[in-house]
Amino acid sequence: MLPRWMRRIVSSASHSAFFGAVGPTVMPPLERAYRVVTRRAGPISELAVPSLVLHTTGARTGLPRRAELICAPDASDRTLFVAGSNFARPRHPGWTYNLIAYPGAEVERGRHRTRVTATLLTGAEREQAWERLDDVLPGYRRYERAAGREFRVFRLEPVA
């Protein structure tokens, strides 16, 4: 993970209105190119901050779905927290609907794939997760306020 001062720069750029406008168009092909060049399954964001690939089941279709996300590991590095920012768009990202419908999912980090159970967090648990998320990517919480909606925050716990 990059030093905190560098993560602040990444955060400022990725939470800008410009990135919110171009990110949904630019990032998917950039992610594909990164996977081809590096021969890795992980997202390009893994170069700067903890990241994962989330494998879910489509809420409406039942088909496999994939999403590249920034994550915040807990102290044990086993439990992960993710927030549904969706480039600060007005709607929640599709993967959040998928986790609500089918909480069983898989997470890829590096070359490891793990089965997890997702829990939508509320109240104090959500606030604690936000502290961790904001530590990983400084300013992430401001991004939520700028979006004008409450991001869905999930805890992803490994299945024993």
Coil vs helix vs strand at 46: helix
What CATH number is given for 4-158 in this structure? 2.30.110.10
pTM above 0.85, yes or no: no
Rounded CA-CA distance 51/151 in Å is 18
- Percentage of the chain exceeding pLDDT 90: 48
Query: Residues with Cβ < 8 Å from 22, sequence gap 6 or more?
Result: none
Domain-wise residue ranges, the chain: 4-158
pLDDT in tens, 13-68: 666 666 667 766 776 776 777 767 777 666 666 666 788 999 999 999 999 999 98
Six-digit token pair at 99? 């986790």
